[in-house]
Amino acid sequence: MKTSSPGKILLGFVLVFGFCLSGNAQLLKKLGKRAERAAERTIERRVDKETSEKTDQVLDSILEPGSGGNKQGPNTTPSPTGNEPNTQGGQSGGPTGSSGPKTIEVYSKFDYVPGDKQLFFDDFGNDFIGDFPSKWNTNAGGEVVTLGDSPQKWFGFKSGYNIYYIPNVPQLPEEYTIEFDLAAVGLDRQTSSTAQLQIMLSNDEKFDMGSNFAFAEIPFCQYAAIGVTVANRINGKREIRSTVKADLRDEVLDTPHISIAVNKQRFRLWVNEIKYIDVPQLVPNGAILSTLKFHVNNFKDGKEQVFISNLKIAEGGVDLRRKLIAEGKISTNGILFDTGSANIKPESMGIIRQIYQVLQQDGTINLKIVGHTDSDGSDENNMALSKKRAASVKNALVSVYGVDTNRLTVDGKGESEPVADNNSPDGKAQNRRVEFIRQ
Protein backbone atom coordinates (compact mmCIF):
# COMPACT_ATOMS: atom_id res chain seq x y z
CA MET A 1 0.00 0.00 0.00
CA LYS A 2 1.33 3.40 -0.95
CA THR A 3 1.79 5.83 1.92
CA SER A 4 2.22 9.59 1.83
CA SER A 5 5.40 11.10 3.18
CA PRO A 6 5.20 13.23 6.36
CA GLY A 7 6.38 16.25 4.32
CA LYS A 8 3.48 15.96 1.86
CA ILE A 9 0.95 15.55 4.64
CA LEU A 10 2.26 18.60 6.48
CA LEU A 11 2.19 20.64 3.25
CA GLY A 12 -1.47 19.78 2.88
CA PHE A 13 -2.21 20.95 6.39
CA VAL A 14 -0.44 24.24 5.78
CA LEU A 15 -2.47 24.90 2.60
CA VAL A 16 -5.77 24.17 4.39
CA PHE A 17 -4.96 26.41 7.30
CA GLY A 18 -3.68 29.11 5.00
CA PHE A 19 -7.06 29.12 3.23
CA CYS A 20 -8.82 29.46 6.62
CA LEU A 21 -6.64 32.40 7.54
CA SER A 22 -7.37 34.19 4.27
CA GLY A 23 -11.10 33.77 4.92
CA ASN A 24 -10.71 35.63 8.17
CA ALA A 25 -8.88 38.55 6.56
CA GLN A 26 -12.07 40.55 5.88
CA LEU A 27 -13.17 40.15 9.46
CA LEU A 28 -9.83 41.34 10.79
CA LYS A 29 -9.94 44.49 8.65
CA LYS A 30 -13.12 45.57 10.45
CA LEU A 31 -11.53 45.41 13.86
CA GLY A 32 -9.57 48.11 15.66
CA LYS A 33 -5.81 47.79 15.77
CA ARG A 34 -5.65 46.27 19.22
CA ALA A 35 -8.50 43.83 18.58
CA GLU A 36 -6.94 42.92 15.26
CA ARG A 37 -3.65 42.00 16.90
CA ALA A 38 -5.46 39.96 19.53
CA ALA A 39 -7.52 38.13 16.92
CA GLU A 40 -4.44 37.38 14.84
CA ARG A 41 -2.68 35.94 17.87
CA THR A 42 -5.72 33.79 18.66
CA ILE A 43 -5.84 32.43 15.11
CA GLU A 44 -2.09 31.83 15.10
CA ARG A 45 -2.25 29.95 18.39
CA ARG A 46 -5.09 27.76 17.17
CA VAL A 47 -3.44 27.04 13.82
CA ASP A 48 -0.15 26.26 15.55
CA LYS A 49 -1.86 24.00 18.09
CA GLU A 50 -3.84 22.09 15.47
CA THR A 51 -0.85 21.77 13.17
CA SER A 52 1.25 20.48 16.06
CA GLU A 53 -1.42 17.92 16.99
CA LYS A 54 -1.72 16.68 13.39
CA THR A 55 2.07 16.50 13.10
CA ASP A 56 2.27 14.42 16.28
CA GLN A 57 -0.37 12.05 14.94
CA VAL A 58 1.51 11.59 11.65
CA LEU A 59 4.82 10.98 13.39
CA ASP A 60 3.24 8.62 15.92
CA SER A 61 1.62 6.58 13.16
CA ILE A 62 5.01 6.27 11.45
CA LEU A 63 7.29 5.80 14.46
CA GLU A 64 4.84 3.95 16.72
CA PRO A 65 2.38 1.95 14.56
CA GLY A 66 -0.84 1.16 16.37
CA SER A 67 -0.60 4.15 18.70
CA GLY A 68 -3.51 5.85 16.97
CA GLY A 69 -1.88 9.24 17.32
CA ASN A 70 -3.06 9.67 20.89
CA LYS A 71 0.30 10.26 22.50
CA GLN A 72 0.18 13.26 24.81
CA GLY A 73 2.76 15.87 23.87
CA PRO A 74 3.95 18.97 25.68
CA ASN A 75 1.97 22.18 25.56
CA THR A 76 3.20 24.03 22.48
CA THR A 77 0.89 27.04 22.59
CA PRO A 78 3.03 30.02 21.59
CA SER A 79 3.37 33.05 23.78
CA PRO A 80 2.15 36.52 22.81
CA THR A 81 4.23 38.34 20.25
CA GLY A 82 7.33 39.93 21.72
CA ASN A 83 7.28 43.69 22.18
CA GLU A 84 9.78 46.04 23.67
CA PRO A 85 9.04 47.35 27.18
CA ASN A 86 7.36 50.74 27.29
CA THR A 87 9.67 53.23 28.98
CA GLN A 88 7.38 56.20 28.34
CA GLY A 89 4.16 54.97 29.94
CA GLY A 90 2.21 54.34 26.70
CA GLN A 91 0.94 51.15 25.13
CA SER A 92 3.35 48.39 24.33
CA GLY A 93 4.15 44.84 25.19
CA GLY A 94 2.72 44.34 28.64
CA PRO A 95 2.99 40.78 29.85
CA THR A 96 -0.01 38.60 29.22
CA GLY A 97 -0.80 34.98 29.87
CA SER A 98 -3.47 32.38 29.43
CA SER A 99 -3.75 30.85 32.87
CA GLY A 100 -5.98 33.62 34.26
CA PRO A 101 -6.22 34.91 37.83
CA LYS A 102 -6.00 32.45 40.68
CA THR A 103 -8.81 32.32 43.23
CA ILE A 104 -8.56 32.33 47.00
CA GLU A 105 -9.93 28.79 47.04
CA VAL A 106 -7.04 27.61 44.84
CA TYR A 107 -4.59 29.06 47.35
CA SER A 108 -6.35 27.72 50.43
CA LYS A 109 -3.66 25.02 50.95
CA PHE A 110 -0.76 27.35 50.15
CA ASP A 111 1.62 26.90 53.11
CA TYR A 112 4.14 29.71 52.53
CA VAL A 113 4.41 32.20 55.41
CA PRO A 114 6.50 35.36 54.91
CA GLY A 115 8.95 36.64 57.49
CA ASP A 116 7.61 39.03 60.09
CA LYS A 117 10.52 41.52 60.23
CA GLN A 118 10.94 43.35 56.94
CA LEU A 119 14.56 43.86 55.84
CA PHE A 120 14.10 45.20 52.32
CA PHE A 121 11.31 46.25 49.98
CA ASP A 122 11.44 47.82 46.53
CA ASP A 123 8.63 48.51 44.09
CA PHE A 124 10.77 51.20 42.37
CA GLY A 125 8.17 53.79 43.36
CA ASN A 126 10.84 56.44 44.06
CA ASP A 127 12.84 55.75 40.87
CA PHE A 128 12.42 57.59 37.58
CA ILE A 129 11.47 55.75 34.41
CA GLY A 130 14.64 55.02 32.43
CA ASP A 131 16.97 55.16 35.45
CA PHE A 132 18.88 52.34 37.08
CA PRO A 133 17.15 51.72 40.45
CA SER A 134 18.75 53.50 43.38
CA LYS A 135 18.67 50.51 45.77
CA TRP A 136 20.49 48.06 43.48
CA ASN A 137 24.00 47.38 42.15
CA THR A 138 25.23 45.65 38.98
CA ASN A 139 28.24 45.14 36.73
CA ALA A 140 26.13 45.72 33.60
CA GLY A 141 23.06 47.96 33.24
CA GLY A 142 19.29 48.10 33.34
CA GLU A 143 16.43 50.52 33.77
CA VAL A 144 13.08 51.03 35.45
CA VAL A 145 10.14 50.80 33.02
CA THR A 146 6.38 50.46 32.86
CA LEU A 147 4.71 47.71 30.86
CA GLY A 148 1.60 48.38 28.79
CA ASP A 149 -0.99 50.69 30.34
CA SER A 150 -0.24 49.80 33.96
CA PRO A 151 1.49 52.44 36.13
CA GLN A 152 3.35 49.71 38.03
CA LYS A 153 7.12 50.04 37.71
CA TRP A 154 9.42 47.16 36.82
CA PHE A 155 13.18 46.72 36.70
CA GLY A 156 14.47 45.06 33.53
CA PHE A 157 17.42 42.66 33.71
CA LYS A 158 19.96 42.27 30.90
CA SER A 159 21.09 38.81 29.85
CA GLY A 160 24.77 38.01 29.62
CA TYR A 161 27.77 36.12 30.94
CA ASN A 162 28.69 36.89 34.58
CA ILE A 163 26.16 39.73 34.86
CA TYR A 164 24.66 40.04 38.34
CA TYR A 165 22.00 42.28 39.87
CA ILE A 166 22.32 42.80 43.62
CA PRO A 167 19.73 44.56 45.80
CA ASN A 168 21.23 46.53 48.69
CA VAL A 169 19.93 44.13 51.35
CA PRO A 170 21.44 44.01 54.84
CA GLN A 171 23.33 40.82 55.60
CA LEU A 172 20.95 37.91 55.28
CA PRO A 173 20.12 36.12 58.56
CA GLU A 174 19.78 32.37 59.04
CA GLU A 175 16.01 32.37 58.51
CA TYR A 176 14.25 34.67 56.07
CA THR A 177 11.87 34.85 53.14
CA ILE A 178 12.10 36.38 49.67
CA GLU A 179 9.14 37.39 47.50
CA PHE A 180 8.84 39.14 44.15
CA ASP A 181 6.75 39.41 40.99
CA LEU A 182 8.11 38.49 37.56
CA ALA A 183 7.15 39.63 34.06
CA ALA A 184 8.55 38.75 30.65
CA VAL A 185 8.16 40.06 27.10
CA GLY A 186 9.22 38.66 23.75
CA LEU A 187 8.91 34.97 24.63
CA ASP A 188 7.94 32.58 21.85
CA ARG A 189 8.66 29.05 20.66
CA GLN A 190 12.21 30.06 19.78
CA THR A 191 13.04 31.07 23.36
CA SER A 192 16.04 28.99 24.42
CA SER A 193 15.70 25.95 26.66
CA THR A 194 18.47 27.54 28.76
CA ALA A 195 16.67 30.90 29.14
CA GLN A 196 16.47 31.12 32.92
CA LEU A 197 16.40 33.51 35.85
CA GLN A 198 18.84 32.48 38.56
CA ILE A 199 18.23 33.49 42.18
CA MET A 200 21.46 33.03 44.12
CA LEU A 201 22.56 33.24 47.75
CA SER A 202 26.32 33.75 47.86
CA ASN A 203 29.22 34.48 50.20
CA ASP A 204 30.66 36.81 47.54
CA GLU A 205 29.49 40.41 47.94
CA LYS A 206 30.28 41.49 44.36
CA PHE A 207 29.99 39.92 40.93
CA ASP A 208 31.19 36.35 41.29
CA MET A 209 29.49 33.12 42.30
CA GLY A 210 31.70 32.72 45.37
CA SER A 211 33.14 29.63 47.00
CA ASN A 212 29.88 28.96 48.85
CA PHE A 213 26.50 29.47 47.22
CA ALA A 214 23.05 28.03 46.61
CA PHE A 215 20.73 28.92 43.76
CA ALA A 216 17.49 28.10 41.98
CA GLU A 217 16.76 28.70 38.29
CA ILE A 218 13.30 29.47 36.89
CA PRO A 219 12.90 28.49 33.19
CA PHE A 220 11.25 30.64 30.51
CA CYS A 221 11.45 28.25 27.54
CA GLN A 222 8.15 27.97 25.63
CA TYR A 223 8.64 25.00 23.27
CA ALA A 224 9.24 22.42 25.98
CA ALA A 225 8.68 21.94 29.70
CA ILE A 226 11.98 22.74 31.42
CA GLY A 227 12.11 22.02 35.13
CA VAL A 228 13.33 24.11 38.06
CA THR A 229 17.04 23.61 38.75
CA VAL A 230 18.76 23.92 42.12
CA ALA A 231 22.48 23.73 42.85
CA ASN A 232 25.04 24.63 45.48
CA ARG A 233 28.76 24.80 46.13
CA ILE A 234 30.35 24.16 49.51
CA ASN A 235 33.94 25.36 49.93
CA GLY A 236 34.40 25.34 46.18
CA LYS A 237 32.94 21.85 45.69
CA ARG A 238 29.56 21.09 44.14
CA GLU A 239 27.36 18.97 46.39
CA ILE A 240 23.93 19.31 44.76
CA ARG A 241 22.70 19.98 41.24
CA SER A 242 19.31 18.66 40.23
CA THR A 243 16.30 19.60 38.12
CA VAL A 244 12.75 19.07 39.36
CA LYS A 245 10.20 18.33 36.64
CA ALA A 246 7.88 21.29 36.16
CA ASP A 247 5.94 22.91 33.33
CA LEU A 248 5.99 26.65 33.98
CA ARG A 249 5.34 27.83 30.42
CA ASP A 250 1.95 29.37 31.18
CA GLU A 251 3.02 30.73 34.55
CA VAL A 252 5.99 32.74 33.27
CA LEU A 253 3.70 34.49 30.77
CA ASP A 254 1.30 35.58 33.47
CA THR A 255 3.36 37.67 35.93
CA PRO A 256 3.97 34.91 38.49
CA HIS A 257 4.57 35.56 42.17
CA ILE A 258 7.73 33.87 43.47
CA SER A 259 8.12 32.94 47.15
CA ILE A 260 11.28 31.55 48.76
CA ALA A 261 11.80 30.46 52.34
CA VAL A 262 15.27 29.86 53.79
CA ASN A 263 15.39 28.17 57.19
CA LYS A 264 19.09 27.63 57.93
CA GLN A 265 20.04 24.90 55.40
CA ARG A 266 16.52 24.28 54.13
CA PHE A 267 15.49 25.97 50.87
CA ARG A 268 11.90 26.06 49.58
CA LEU A 269 10.52 27.75 46.46
CA TRP A 270 6.94 28.35 45.33
CA VAL A 271 5.68 29.67 41.98
CA ASN A 272 2.26 31.13 42.69
CA GLU A 273 0.54 28.55 44.93
CA ILE A 274 2.67 25.52 43.98
CA LYS A 275 5.77 24.44 45.91
CA TYR A 276 8.37 23.08 43.49
CA ILE A 277 11.52 22.97 45.63
CA ASP A 278 12.01 21.74 49.19
CA VAL A 279 15.63 20.73 49.75
CA PRO A 280 16.58 20.23 53.43
CA GLN A 281 20.33 20.86 53.02
CA LEU A 282 20.81 23.06 49.95
CA VAL A 283 22.27 26.06 51.82
CA PRO A 284 25.86 25.34 52.97
CA ASN A 285 25.99 24.74 56.73
CA GLY A 286 27.99 27.35 58.62
CA ALA A 287 28.75 29.47 55.54
CA ILE A 288 27.63 33.08 55.64
CA LEU A 289 25.66 33.57 52.41
CA SER A 290 25.16 37.26 52.96
CA THR A 291 24.31 38.40 49.42
CA LEU A 292 21.24 37.92 47.24
CA LYS A 293 21.93 38.03 43.49
CA PHE A 294 19.88 37.75 40.31
CA HIS A 295 21.36 36.49 37.05
CA VAL A 296 19.61 36.19 33.67
CA ASN A 297 20.91 33.70 31.14
CA ASN A 298 20.43 33.09 27.38
CA PHE A 299 17.69 35.57 26.49
CA LYS A 300 17.84 37.15 23.01
CA ASP A 301 19.06 40.73 23.33
CA GLY A 302 16.54 43.28 22.09
CA LYS A 303 13.72 40.74 21.87
CA GLU A 304 13.30 38.83 25.13
CA GLN A 305 13.55 40.40 28.56
CA VAL A 306 12.70 39.62 32.17
CA PHE A 307 11.48 42.15 34.74
CA ILE A 308 11.09 42.15 38.52
CA SER A 309 8.95 44.19 40.92
CA ASN A 310 7.77 44.22 44.52
CA LEU A 311 10.88 42.55 45.92
CA LYS A 312 10.40 41.93 49.62
CA ILE A 313 12.87 40.28 52.01
CA ALA A 314 11.89 39.63 55.61
CA GLU A 315 13.56 37.94 58.53
CA GLY A 316 11.73 35.08 60.19
CA GLY A 317 9.10 33.06 58.44
CA VAL A 318 8.28 31.82 61.94
CA ASP A 319 5.29 29.72 62.87
CA LEU A 320 2.64 32.36 63.54
CA ARG A 321 0.38 29.76 65.16
CA ARG A 322 2.72 29.27 68.10
CA LYS A 323 3.28 33.00 68.47
CA LEU A 324 -0.45 33.77 68.50
CA ILE A 325 -1.13 31.08 71.10
CA ALA A 326 1.84 32.11 73.29
CA GLU A 327 1.53 35.89 73.07
CA GLY A 328 -2.14 36.37 72.24
CA LYS A 329 -1.35 38.81 69.44
CA ILE A 330 0.46 38.92 66.13
CA SER A 331 0.94 41.58 63.48
CA THR A 332 1.79 40.76 59.87
CA ASN A 333 2.31 42.65 56.63
CA GLY A 334 2.24 39.38 54.72
CA ILE A 335 -1.48 39.65 53.98
CA LEU A 336 -1.53 41.60 50.74
CA PHE A 337 -4.35 43.49 49.04
CA ASP A 338 -4.85 45.03 45.63
CA THR A 339 -3.84 48.71 45.62
CA GLY A 340 -6.52 50.88 47.21
CA SER A 341 -8.77 47.84 47.58
CA ALA A 342 -9.92 45.28 50.13
CA ASN A 343 -9.43 42.43 47.65
CA ILE A 344 -7.02 39.92 49.20
CA LYS A 345 -4.21 38.73 46.96
CA PRO A 346 -4.45 34.92 46.88
CA GLU A 347 -0.79 34.41 47.80
CA SER A 348 -1.70 35.74 51.26
CA MET A 349 -3.60 32.57 52.11
CA GLY A 350 -0.59 30.91 53.79
CA ILE A 351 -0.98 33.24 56.77
CA ILE A 352 -4.77 33.09 56.84
CA ARG A 353 -4.53 29.29 56.79
CA GLN A 354 -2.33 29.37 59.91
CA ILE A 355 -4.86 31.59 61.70
CA TYR A 356 -7.56 29.07 60.81
CA GLN A 357 -5.45 26.23 62.24
CA VAL A 358 -5.20 28.05 65.58
CA LEU A 359 -8.97 28.55 65.69
CA GLN A 360 -9.53 24.93 64.69
CA GLN A 361 -7.20 23.62 67.39
CA ASP A 362 -8.68 25.66 70.25
CA GLY A 363 -12.42 26.28 70.09
CA THR A 364 -12.25 28.76 72.99
CA ILE A 365 -10.18 31.31 71.05
CA ASN A 366 -11.95 34.34 69.58
CA LEU A 367 -10.04 36.92 67.53
CA LYS A 368 -10.24 40.60 66.76
CA ILE A 369 -8.89 41.42 63.29
CA VAL A 370 -7.52 44.96 62.89
CA GLY A 371 -6.52 46.51 59.56
CA HIS A 372 -3.89 49.24 59.07
CA THR A 373 -2.95 51.26 55.97
CA ASP A 374 -0.14 53.53 54.84
CA SER A 375 -0.68 57.30 54.54
CA ASP A 376 -1.54 57.46 50.83
CA GLY A 377 -5.00 59.01 50.45
CA SER A 378 -7.18 60.84 52.94
CA ASP A 379 -7.55 59.91 56.61
CA GLU A 380 -11.23 59.17 56.09
CA ASN A 381 -10.67 56.87 53.11
CA ASN A 382 -7.84 55.02 54.84
CA MET A 383 -9.95 54.44 57.94
CA ALA A 384 -12.75 52.97 55.83
CA LEU A 385 -10.27 50.91 53.77
CA SER A 386 -8.60 49.43 56.86
CA LYS A 387 -11.98 48.26 58.19
CA LYS A 388 -12.91 46.75 54.83
CA ARG A 389 -9.61 44.89 54.68
CA ALA A 390 -10.13 43.44 58.16
CA ALA A 391 -13.62 42.38 57.06
CA SER A 392 -12.15 40.70 53.95
CA VAL A 393 -9.81 38.64 56.12
CA LYS A 394 -12.74 37.62 58.32
CA ASN A 395 -14.75 36.68 55.24
CA ALA A 396 -11.90 34.47 53.97
CA LEU A 397 -11.75 32.62 57.30
CA VAL A 398 -15.51 32.14 57.29
CA SER A 399 -16.14 31.34 53.62
CA VAL A 400 -13.00 29.34 52.78
CA TYR A 401 -12.30 27.57 56.08
CA GLY A 402 -15.72 27.51 57.71
CA VAL A 403 -14.82 29.46 60.87
CA ASP A 404 -17.86 30.48 62.94
CA THR A 405 -18.46 34.17 62.20
CA ASN A 406 -19.31 34.84 65.87
CA ARG A 407 -15.70 34.07 66.84
CA LEU A 408 -14.37 36.98 64.81
CA THR A 409 -14.72 40.75 65.16
CA VAL A 410 -13.15 43.43 62.98
CA ASP A 411 -11.80 46.95 63.34
CA GLY A 412 -9.62 49.38 61.40
CA LYS A 413 -7.09 52.01 62.44
CA GLY A 414 -6.40 53.53 59.02
CA GLU A 415 -3.05 55.33 58.99
CA SER A 416 -3.28 56.41 62.63
CA GLU A 417 -0.79 53.89 64.09
CA PRO A 418 2.25 53.69 61.77
CA VAL A 419 5.18 51.47 62.72
CA ALA A 420 7.55 52.94 60.09
CA ASP A 421 8.17 56.07 58.00
CA ASN A 422 5.44 56.63 55.41
CA ASN A 423 7.83 58.62 53.20
CA SER A 424 9.46 55.52 51.69
CA PRO A 425 8.09 52.45 49.86
CA ASP A 426 9.75 50.26 52.50
CA GLY A 427 8.05 52.10 55.35
CA LYS A 428 4.67 52.09 53.63
CA ALA A 429 4.91 48.34 53.10
CA GLN A 430 5.50 47.84 56.83
CA ASN A 431 2.53 50.04 57.74
CA ARG A 432 0.15 48.06 55.53
CA ARG A 433 -0.53 45.29 58.01
CA VAL A 434 -3.16 43.19 59.75
CA GLU A 435 -3.27 42.40 63.47
CA PHE A 436 -4.87 39.39 65.13
CA ILE A 437 -5.67 39.91 68.82
CA ARG A 438 -6.99 37.20 71.11
CA GLN A 439 -10.21 38.24 72.87
pLDDT digits (tens, 9 = 90+) for 193-224: 999 999 999 999 999 999 999 999 999 999 99
- Distance in angstroms (rounded) separating the CA atoms of residues 138 and 158: 10
Last residue within a domain, chosen from 315, 350, 370: 315
Asked if residue 76 is part of any domain, the answer here is no
% of the chain residues with pLDDT over 90: 56
Q: What is the pLDDT at residue 178?
A: 96
Residue 83 lies in a domain: no
Question: Within a domain: residue 301?
Answer: yes
Residue 349 has what pLDDT? 83
Q: Report yes or no: 372 and 411 within 8 Å, Cβ to Cβ.
A: no
Residue 221 half-sphere exposure, CB side, CA atoms within 13 Å?
A: 18
pLDDT higher at 240 or 117: 240
Most confident of the following: 204-208, 317-321, 386-390, 428-432: 386-390
User: Where does the pLDDT of residue 192 fall: very low under 50, low under 70, confident under 90, or very high at 90 and above?
Assistant: very high
| Run of H or E residues at 387 | helix 379-401
For residue 309, give the CATH number of its domain.
2.60.120.560
160 with 303, same domain: the answer is yes
Quick one: 27 and 143 in the same domain? no
> How do residues 117-168 score in pLDDT, each as one tens digit?
889 999 999 999 999 999 999 999 999 999 999 999 999 999 888 899 999 9
Whole-number average pLDDT of the chain: 80
Residue 90: inside a domain: no
pLDDT per position as a tens digit, 395-415: 999 998 899 999 999 999 999
Same domain for 328 and 390, yes or no, is yes
- Residues 250 and 351 placed together within one structural domain of the fold: no
What dihedral do alpha carbons 396, 351, 326, 333 form, nearest 10°?
-100
Amino acid at 397: L
**Overall domain count for the chain:** 3
From the centroid of its chain, how far is CA 187? Answer: 16
Residues 430 and 336 in one domain: yes
Instruction: State whether 327 and 275 are in the same domain.
Output: no
Of the ranges 48-52, 62-66, 216-220, 355-359, which one carries the lowest mean pLDDT score? 62-66
Last residue of a domain, one of 274, 297, 315: 315
Q: How does pLDDT run across 257-310, given as a tens digit for each residue?
A: 999 999 899 999 999 888 999 999 999 988 889 899 999 999 998 899 999 999
Q: Is residue 82 one of the residues assigned to a domain? A: no
- Do 227 and 269 sit in the same domain of this protein? yes
Specify the pairing of strand 257-263 against strand 329-332: unpaired
CA distance 195 to 192: 5
Q: How does residue 76 score in pLDDT terms, banded at 50, 70 and 90?
A: very low
Domain identity same for 47 and 127: no
In a domain? residue 336: yes
Reduced to 3 states (helix: H, G, I; strand: E, B; else coil), residue 47 is helix
Query: Is residue 255 located within the same domain as residue 196?
Result: yes
Work out the average pLDDT over 62-83.
Answer: 35
**What is the pLDDT at residue 408?**
96
- The pLDDT score that the predictor gives to residue 317 is 62
Same domain for 389 and 326, yes or no, is yes
pLDDT tier, 329 (very low <50, low <70, confident <90, very high otherwise):
very high
User: Does 168 fall in a domain?
Assistant: yes
Q: What is the pLDDT of residue 111?
A: 74
Is residue 383 domain-shared with residue 324, that is, in the same domain? yes
Higher-pLDDT residue of 9 and 352 is 352
Cβ 298 vs Cβ 407: under 8 Å:
no
Better-scored residue on pLDDT, 30 or 429: 429
Q: Tell me which residue range forms the domain holding 422.
A: 320-438
Q: Are residues 221 and 195 located together in one domain of the fold?
A: yes
Assigned domain for 340 exists: yes
Beta bridge partners of 202: 213, 291
pLDDT value, residue 140: 93
pLDDT the model gives residue 325: 87
Return the closest-CA partner of residue 218 out of 157, 173, 264.
157
